[in-house]
Amino acid sequence: MNQPTTAPPRHATPRRHIGGPCIVLALLALLSCGAAAEALESLYLVRHAEKQEPWPAELSVYQPLTEEGRQRAEHWASQLRGKHLAAIYSSPYGRTVQTAVAISTALKIPLHTDATTTEPDQIADFVARLRTEHAESHAVLIVGHSDTLPMFLRHFGADSACEERLTLHRSGRHELIKGYSGLFHVDLTKEGCDALDRQNVELPDPGDQEAALEPRPVALDPAQLVASSQQYRVIYGHESMGVAELSLVPGEAGLEARFSTNIGRAGIQQEAVIVLDTDGANHQKVSIHGPMGPSEADVEIRFEDGKAIGHTDFPRARQKPQGKLPVDRSIPAGTFERNSLFTLLPAMPIDRVAAFSLYAYDAREDLLQPIDLRVTGPRVDPTKFAGAEAYRVEISGMEQGFVVWIHAETPRHVLGIDWIGQPWTYELLPGKP
């Protein structure tokens, strides 16, 4: 890659495309046929990873990453998976491009270098171009510098009310962000500080990472496994699309975790029933039925002797029907069917473990995946859930990431579910526990 020997002047560097075709994931893990975006909804911003120092100032454009920086760039890729990025935009400097290439390669999404990301008087035009070129996309990533990301944050309304939590500070004539660990999110459906968020993403300790990423069975807390039923409003952006219900009820063969969705506007009326042992730790069978637009879901799988056996016929939006497919696969001990995750999550050890991993089995797709769950809290957010104390559980590793909010009081229950990188939300209906 040819690069200039000095920082590129305005308009000097043409936009270039690196990588394969743009892949925009619009799969919704629960609804399975997400609505197409009508406008770009999210921007994610990260600073380039750690750079080699000392380094000659006149060769700044070539400044590469350190070994720790390369590890951070790879870690960014794992953290950004599931955010449905349509593209990555980077300044044309070695350290930003090297960071962006690691993410682009891992996630298989296109990368563009664009010098206008570093020009204060061109930020507005650049953002307008993103909105136009990615009008049908959910999210875009920008890889920048400690002194260019503040320009974007200010453009989207950062002020004194949020500059501290965004780590904005001045150093001489420049406004900077602190450190390398900030993942900034701009919600384009909101304005001002309400639209801006910063998540601190530290590099994991190698030993802790190895333990956390190894899926293991988890024991459920019997005190949380009580008969319950909660209803939720399903929201896309600011528009109510339907209702969903999570329930745990005693059945003839054991506990039954039920997850139903009724999205009338999409013609979806689906119910998943997962039959569990009385302690909730082992699955016996899963059934998923109901209309999915013009088609009908038909999933019947039983679990026995470490195997999943049955059939799946689950229609997908914009895909040709595949018909009934046989299922016969090995399943590791301690695997959770993904439709049972949200019902059983309150009984998992979220009050004792900050991070753990387990296997999730998607009966609709006959797909087995290791997933990571990271817990923070409990804490009170006065802007959410009427000030109720809640755990925040982030789920990653599936094609769609989620943040699940769980009431801290026993018996715990789900207060809400947010899709990461998409404007879908499950909001507990008033008057429900």
Tokens 């801290």 belong to 408
196 and 291 belong to one structural domain: no
The answer to whether position 217 is within a domain reads no
Domain count along the chain? 2
Non-local (6+) Cβ contacts of 53 within 8 A are none
- What is the per-residue burial (b if ≥16 Cβ within 10 Å, else e) of 90-121? bbbbbbbbbbbbbbbbebebbbbbbbbbbbee
119 and 43 belong to one structural domain: yes
Range of the domain at 295: 222-428
State the CATH number of the domain containing residue 190.
Answer: 3.40.50.1240
The answer to whether position 92 is within a domain reads yes
Enumerate the H helices of 10-144 as residue ranges.
67-80, 94-107, 123-133
The answer to whether position 21 is within a domain reads yes
293 and 164 belong to one structural domain: no
Query: Shortest CA distance to 19 belongs to which of 142, 144, 113?
Result: 113
The answer to whether position 3 is within a domain reads no
The answer to whether position 297 is within a domain reads yes
Non-local (6+) Cβ contacts of 264 within 8 A are 242
179 and 230 belong to one structural domain: no
Quote the pLDDT of residue 413. Answer: 92
33 and 113 belong to one structural domain: yes
Quote the pLDDT of residue 281. Answer: 63
Non-local (6+) Cβ contacts of 86 within 8 A are 22, 24, 109, 134, 137, 138, 139, 140
Q: In whole angstroms, how far apart are CA 9 and each of 4, 63, 118, 175?
A: 10, 17, 10, 20
Which of 174, 203, 232 is the C-terminal boundary of a domain?
Answer: 203
234 and 189 belong to one structural domain: no
233 and 198 belong to one structural domain: no
108 and 38 belong to one structural domain: yes
Quote the pLDDT of residue 219. Answer: 85
423 and 313 belong to one structural domain: yes
The answer to whether position 74 is within a domain reads yes
Q: Is 127 helix (H, G, I), strand (E, B) or coil?
A: helix
32 and 73 belong to one structural domain: yes
98 and 241 belong to one structural domain: no
10-residue mean pLDDT profile of the chain (433 residues): values are 38 34 30 53 96 90 92 88 89 96 91 95 96 92 97 96 94 92 94 93 63 74 89 88 90 83 77 79 83 80 90 63 81 87 90 87 85 87 80 85 91 90 84 53
294 and 343 belong to one structural domain: yes
- Biggest alpha carbon–alpha carbon distance for the chain: 75
The answer to whether position 6 is within a domain reads no
- CA dist 361 and 335 (Å) reads 7
Quote the pLDDT of residue 414. Answer: 94
Which of 151, 171, 203 is the C-terminal boundary of a domain?
Answer: 203
